[in-house]
């Protein structure tokens, strides 16, 4: 199985998986022009669409793709029911597509019903984890987002994370602010500045890398507590996670 990264809208990534028979799956189609070009160019047969959550920049392409490929199966959480999902899935559900097993993880936080699709060694996590950062909280809760991060942390560390957006540069700017002494992050930030200057992608990332560069996976680090100027009552890791997300919102 191979994966194609399709940059879309301003910062989105749509992911396309295909096998040796040219059958393919698309994850979070927020638009269709480029998808249709690729499907045409490589003569791909669209078998399924996977949706992580119900935001327009992740679901707006579904209707058009279904018009072109009416036999496509659309998997998504309950919240995507009116955006075209026909097979509604939740935590623990699994199914096989293109001879690969996909397991559904509840990754609530960015939205209340947000899910991820795990197919070893890949995780399609939508707007939950971004490289060096964390999705914004819309109708989910910060506590759920924290629990989603813990769930992801517990996957094998060689897992590749396919996020829904290219936000690495601005996330690293924040990471160097909260972890100013961390030389690894500073060096990684320099590397990403160069990559982005040349319009190169920085996703997928790995859990192993994120545990090092992503402050949201490192809430208990002393430098973070210092930068956030936390009151001594704040001890629980999820509370620090909350303060960190709040700080990023106003950064």
What is the tally of helices (H) and strands (E) in the chain?
A: 9, 14
Binding site for Zn ion (CB under 5 A): 55, 127
Residues ≥6 apart with Cβ < 8 Å to 157: 206, 207, 208, 211
CA–CA separation, 46 and 17 (whole Å): 10
CB closer to Zn ion, 127 vs 182: 127
* Shortest distance (Å) from residue 110 CB to Zn ion: 6
CB closer to Zn ion, 55 vs 144: 55
CB closer to Zn ion, 176 vs 205: 205
The answer to whether the Cα torsion of 120, 185, 218, 168 is positive or negative is negative
* Shortest distance (Å) from residue 28 CB to Zn ion: 9
* Shortest distance (Å) from residue 100 CB to Zn ion: 25
CB closer to Zn ion, 52 vs 205: 52
Closest residue to bound Zn ion by CB:
55
Reference 61, options 133, 114, 8; nearest CA is: 8
* Shortest distance (Å) from residue 55 CB to Zn ion: 3
160 pairs with which residues across the strands? Answer: 122, 206
* Shortest distance (Å) from residue 53 CB to Zn ion: 6
**Which stretches does DSSP call E strand in 100-243?**
100-106, 115-119, 122-126, 129-130, 133-134, 160-163, 205-206
CA–CA separation, 247 and 251 (whole Å): 6
Q: Judge contact between 172 and 180, C-beta under 8 A.
A: no
CB closer to Zn ion, 55 vs 218: 55
């Amino acid at each position: 199985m191979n994966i194609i990264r399709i940059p879309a809208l301003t910062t989105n990534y749509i992911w396309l998986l295909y096998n040796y028979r040219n059958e393919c799956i698309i994850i979070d189609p927020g638009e269709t022009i480029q998808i249709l070009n690729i499907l045409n160019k490589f003569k791909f047969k669209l078998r399924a669409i996977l949706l992580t959550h119900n935001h327009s920049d992740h679901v707006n392409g579904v209707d058009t793709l279904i018009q072109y490929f009416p036999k496509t199966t659309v998997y998504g959480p309950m919240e995507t029911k009116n955006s075209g999902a026909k097979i509604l899935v939740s935590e623990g559900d699994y199914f096989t597509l293109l001879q690969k097993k996909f397991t559904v993880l509840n990754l609530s936080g960015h939205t209340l019903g947000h899910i991820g699709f795990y197919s070893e060694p890949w995780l399609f996590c939508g707007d939950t984890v971004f490289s060096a950062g964390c999705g914004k909280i819309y109708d989910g809760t910060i506590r759920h987002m924290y629990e989603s991060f813990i769930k992801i942390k517990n996957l094998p560390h060689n897992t590749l994370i396919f996020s829904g957006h290219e936000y690495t540069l601005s996330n690293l700017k924040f990471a160097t602010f909260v972890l100013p002494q961390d030389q690894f992050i500073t060096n990684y930030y320099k590397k990403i500045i160069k990559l982005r200057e040349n319009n190169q992608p920085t996703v997928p990332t790995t859990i192993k890398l994120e545990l090092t560069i992503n402050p949201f996976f490192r809430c208990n680090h002393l430098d973070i507590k210092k930068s956030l100027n936390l009151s001594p009552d704040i001890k629980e890791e999820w509370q620090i996670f909350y303060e960190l997300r709040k700080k990023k919102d106003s950064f």
